[in-house]
Structure 1
Amino acid sequence: MTSAEAAAAREAAEKTGVTIRELRDIHEFQDVYRLYDDIWHPDPRNAPVPVELMIGFAHTGGYVAGAYEGDRLVGASVGFLAADRTLHSHVTGAAIGRGIGYALKLHQRAWCVARGLVRITWTFDPLVRRNARFNLTKLGARPERYLEDFYGVMADAINEGDASDRLLAVWRLTEPPPEPSAGPFTRGVEVSGARPVIGRVDGPVVLVGTPYDIETLRREDPGAAQAWRLAVREVLGGLMGSGARVTGFTEEGEYVLEKR
């Protein structure tokens, strides 16, 4: 790892009280499997990543790392090498609200820079506001593709009952992210109670809102959750498909899209 990247990763880990290291032993991979099971509660046929794949990724130069609080695993990230000097970060999971996920991503970044990689990619649900804010605002990644129903049916406690639309986040390690426009804006999707309202998309900069808590909404009002999926797919997916780029995420939970 380069000194600056490694120092930032160590500082983030120390701040949250964990130690992060690469994993090599089958028992460590089994611990990751159990951690992911506790986070997502998947159907056994729908595990986020099987132990066998973790072994394969680690053996062939991929990234498998864990965050430890003493002897207890509290976060982990699994990624594989992809084309164009890229690491695809397939699954990252950690205790929420403690900064462990951020420390893992900085460790991952330092690992990539030390190996001459220039991008990290991953997918995330565009409706999960906290993840969008973390990815765009905290890390500086930018969504570059809208992927409709990317994983098909996902049988787990978080995603079940909803289409698996995803954004492909790209974290460019050698260049700063674009700065979002200061406006003027039109609002392509607004919040009205628990439901979305599709608005105007004719301006040069369009804001696309997100629900406050889509995971709770899926349990308590599936119809509203479905309405959000379709509205964001139509507006965010449609704009990105026609060449607009996401340049930021507002404090109010809106994607900022600028037309080319």
Structure 2
Amino acid sequence: MGDPVVRELHELDEFREVERLYDEIWPQVAGQGRVLTVELMRALDHAGNYVAGAYRDGRLVGATVAFFGAPIGETLHSHATGAVAGSGVGFALKRHQRDWALARGLRRITWTFDPLVRRNAYFNLVKLGARPEEYLPNFYGDDMVDAVNSGDRSDRVLAVWRLTDPRVRAAVGEAEPAVRDADAGARAESALVERDGRPVPVRTDAEVVRVAVPSDIETLRRVDPEAAAAWRSALREVLGGLLDAGARVIDFDREAGYLVARRG
């Protein structure tokens, strides 16, 4: 497949397409509201914010909606990005969003994501070069209305994408890839591990630690809600505690999870 065509959206019919796509990606619990409405997208666009769609063969396959955030004149906050899975659409949307932000003199894009979702963490940290900088317990409250998140506490981390950082420039193909710090991974000790499907925190004073996540939290929510809740609590305690204490996430491994440095 070729790269999707990404462009800004301004018309009501286009916003209706986005609304339908988001309903497919985040199915709503019966009788509840939507992730984003046509009316809100219209208002955001009219106020000069960012609404864009990705098209392949004339069909909408992804969309992203963002608005200006604080610090004013520096930040774009990306509220919702949804795409057809496994087709490179998400990466194309983020590149377009970055170009749009840079053209307006912005320096960073932020967004929130569920730190338990392994594929999202890998995409954000490894594919894009963003970094989680703040842990946000139950950010959207207990009343999320989509079927994907319903029934779970809405903990999120704030990802910060520093648009001209060498790591980010390498991720989007503007610079040579940086050499990953193999030494950091080699000396890391586990702070959270998985045993028999459950999380087990491990006491360690190591300067670099590994924080595990389950292989598929979305399936686990359906088949073993108690285990999913245990993972939520454990990650809040371990990863949230590390970030609150000033540690920084320096990498993510699909199997081993987050690599976190306590200092530096």
Q: Same fold (TM over 0.5)?
A: yes
Q: How does 1:76-91 map to 2 (within 5 A)?
A: 76-84=63-71, 85-91=74-80
Distance 2:33 2:196 in 1: 33
1:158 matched residue in structure 2: 148
User: 4+ residue stretches of structure 1 with deviation over 6 A?
Assistant: none
With over 3 angstroms needed to count, the CA separation of the structure-2 counterparts of 1:227 and 1:234, relative to structure 1, is same
2:214 matched residue in structure 1: 211
Q: CA deviation at 1:69?
A: 1.6
1:20 matched residue in structure 2: 6
Percent identity of the aligned residues?
57
The answer (yes or no) to whether the contact 2:3–2:88 under 8 Å persists in 1 is no
The answer (yes or no) to whether the contact 1:133–1:253 under 8 Å persists in 2 is no
Secondary structure of the corresponding residue to residue 95 of structure 2: helix
Q: How does 1:1-260 map to 2 (within 5 A)?
A: 16-43=2-29, 44-84=31-71, 85-152=74-141, 153-177=143-167, 181-260=184-263
Deviation string 1:32-59 (CA, Å, 9 cap, x unpaired) is: 0110001111235331112111111111
Distance 1:156 1:253 in 2: 29
CA root-mean-square deviation = 1.5
Deviates more, 1:17-26 or 1:204-213: 17-26
The one-letter code matched in structure 2 to 1:64 is V
Deviates more, 1:95-104 or 1:199-208: 199-208
Distance 1:191 1:16 in 2: 39
Deviation string 1:177-234 (CA, Å, 9 cap, x unpaired) is: 4965334112111111321111123110111000000000000111110110011000
User: 5+ residue gaps in structure 1?
Assistant: 1-14
Q: What is the count of residue pairs matched by the alignment?
A: 246
Distance 1:61 1:258 in 2: 38
User: 5+ residue gaps in structure 2?
Assistant: 168-177
